[in-house]
Each structure stands twice: as C-alpha cells, then as structure tokens.
Structure 1
C-alpha cells in the first residue's frame, strides 16, 4: 500500500459532529482534502456553511447538517442523513470550577453534550454500519483527562474518561463487523474552549518547563491522526486511546542537568 493510499478517503462518506471550529473543523478540512464526502455538523449553521462553501470552492465534497447534542430529535435527524462510513465525535463543552460548586444543571449540560448525545449518535450511525455490512470507522475525540487527572474540570474529565471506556468496549463488540473504534486524546490544544486560560504567562511557563515538547498544540496537530484512523492504513488498529499531547502524559522534564 502506498502512503497516499494509506491516507485516502476517496469514496467514503464522513459525519463530523462538532465541525464548526477548532479540532472538528481541522478534521473536516483534512477529510475533505483526502477525498471524503464530508458532512460538517454543529449548531452554528452559518459558520458551517461558510466553511463548507470554502471546501467546495477548492473542489472538495462538503455539506452541512444542523446538530444540537442536547436535542434527541436533532441527533436522530443527523444520523438519518444517510449512510456514513466514518463518524467522528468531537462535540464538547467545559465549565471550570471547584467540584463542590457544580450545579445539577451544569452537570447535566456537560454530560449531555460530551457523552450522552455522542452515545445516541454513535448508536444510530453505528447500527446502520452494522446493518450495511460494509464496515466503518468511529473516532472519538477524548482528552488527556481520558487517562489522567487535572483539577477544576472534574465533570468534563468524567465524560472524557467514559469515552475511553466506550472506545475499548465498542471496539470489542463491533470488530466482527469490520468497524474500528478509536479515541484520540489531545493534550493542550488551543481552541475557543481554553484560549483565554492559556494567555496567562504562568500557564505558559509551567508548560514550557514540564512538557517534553514545550508548546501548546493547534487543531491541525490532531487532524492527521484522525485522517489516518479513518483510512485504509489503519484497518488493523482498534480499541486504542492515542495521545497527541506533546509528551504531556508520559514524559516530564526538569531543571536538573548532569555535570558532564
């Protein structure tokens, strides 16, 4: 298999849930550029259409779908849009605060957007993949909190940890149908959800002195792996939680230097 074929999505149809900005948009652009008929889905219909029109202007296949992860009928409508070979679950939200101060409403909102809605969408799209019998690819976008803990984002961390468990169990269940299920765990990727937090010099100083690649990431750091996991080259990869985090999870640096 050539390297081009390993990444080719020609003839495949992909639904990207949460594609109006950030990581989801970067993945949608990469999928379209690699040949997929890409459906960009989110609540921000105007932003979606602007991005899809730009992709079509480049000669790529791209369309839009309104999708609100807090509304079952919206999720069902997106799943009923047609047959999909690839589903990428990116949609997510976060509220940073002390655990004891989360309200029931905040708890429910984070879980509905980050987990419950994605589970319903995966059930609907995945059931059709099983019925068609032509295989498929499901890619969840987790977080470094899928495998490790950080303070003041406890509810978010719970949802992202659940995505990692869903990935492993669903891979075991649907592998017989030639459906792979994987999870990408991004590290400190700058998006609209965290941009303001990372403007603080204390945060930059901390990262630069603890992470092996001393910088924050960008959405385009995630898109190539998502494209590969959706493409023929990754046909034997499933049930994995793969970190794209500059070494944050598995490495640490310190100021010590050996004398010689």
Structure 2
C-alpha cells in the first residue's frame, strides 16, 4: 500500500479540544501527515500550534467555549480565513461528571450532553453544509468511548452521550456518504488524560483497569494518532460509520 494514501498534505483539519491530551495527540499526528491544523479550545492552544508548526505545517489556535452553539459559525469562519476550507473535522472536545446515578443532578446531565453530543452534532452539521456546498466532501471523526459499548459506573450522562456519539456517527455516514463525506469514530480506551485523572489517582480502580488491559498500561495521547490519520486519509475512503476502538485490548478481555 502506497504511503501516499495516508498523505494529508494540503488538507485542513479542525480539531476541537486540540490543546491537550488526546486532542493534541490527534492534531500532531495529522500535522505529521501534512495537514494544516486549527485547534479549537476554551484556552489557547499555543503548545499544539508550536509543535505543529515545527512539523512544517500551518497551525492556528481558535478560542471558543463549546458548551453552546453560539461560537460554531465563528469557529469555522476563523479556520477558513486562516487556513482554507475545512476538510477534516475531529470532534474531540468533551467533558465528564462523576456521581452515583441515584444522586446525579440535572445540571451535570445537561452540561455533559451539551458539549459531548449537542454541540458535536451542530458543529458537524455546519461544517458538512460547507463541504456539500463546495462539492469537496470531507472526513468527520468523532470521539466515542469504551462507554459507547459498555455502561460504566457513576457517569450516566457521559455514558448516554458517548452511546449517542456512536449512533450519530452511523447516522452521519448514512446521510452524508453520498456527498463524499466519511463519518467515523474513534473509541479511546483508558488514556492518561485529565478526564481520567480521578481513576489514575485511585489505586484500587487503577489496578482494576490495568488488570484488564492486555497491553498492560494506560494509553498515551500519541497512541491515538495512527487511527486518526487513517480515518482522515484516502486510505479510509470506503470506510463509513465505524467506531474504531483504540484500547490496548480492553474490549477483547
């Protein structure tokens, strides 16, 4: 297989939550494959931008609060003005709230669902409208979760949102495939990020988690890059609606 199938030179990738963790890992992998990067986050993405530029691509930081629909068109406008039309959208931004289901609050439900599902859908809708109008097609990569397959504990809104992401990914593929838009998702396993810090710090839970992972370690942000490059590239042009686990073998155990 030709390496050119994975070449993203000349493509523009917009990555939400690209300032840290898995989002940064994805952004830098896409940059290494040649894509220009727009990193969208509530805080500046200066580190991601500097590292991407060091790889020889263009990169910009766009600040936006993705808890509501308000910044969506501005984000796309800023990315397009700086780099050109968006070819690859990576919906990585997400939040998590932990509490026993019997005590879970409406606020914690709404906050998580807004970021992880509602804004994800409407940002994608806005980006795909532009892709269709331009006749260019594009690649959509959503960030799912192990909890797209499992129930988990103490994270009801997160579980619901990530199950929704898996379903929406299939819906997007069904409706937009005819326009040359590929919609797929990556389901990270247990990665060492801010979202899992509470689990990493709990010696009992951490031991339980590591005991089930055949790879024997927490995932690192760089581990996600290959899957993201694949789903962003011509190598995946006939791949639609999948949820690809990158989990060190968690689901196989």
- TM normalised by structure 1 equals 0.91
Q: Which moved more, 1:78-87 or 1:107-116?
A: 78-87
Cα contact 2:19–2:47 (8 A) shared by 1: no
Cα contact 1:93–1:113 (8 A) shared by 2: yes
CA deviation vs aligned residue, 1:174-200 (integer Å, no higher than 9, x gap) = 111111000101111110111232133
Alignment of 1:180-259 (within 5 A): 180-249=182-251, 251-252=252-253
What is the root-mean-square deviation of aligned Cα atoms in Å? Answer: 1.4
Cα contact 1:171–1:181 (8 A) shared by 2: yes
Q: Say if 2:24 is the partner of 1:22.
A: no
- Residue 72 (structure 1) aligns with: 69
The structure with more radius of gyration: 1
- Higher helix content, 1 or 2: 2
Paired residue secondary structure (1:79): helix
- The one of 84, 91, 94 equivalent to 1:92 is 94
Q: 1:51 to 1:211 in 2, by over 3 A?
A: closer
- Residue 169 (structure 2) aligns with: 167
- The one of 44, 52, 57 equivalent to 1:55 is 52
Q: How many residues align?
A: 248
In structure 1, runs of 5+ residues without a counterpart are 253-260
- TM normalised by structure 2 equals 0.93
In structure 2, runs of 5+ residues without a counterpart are none
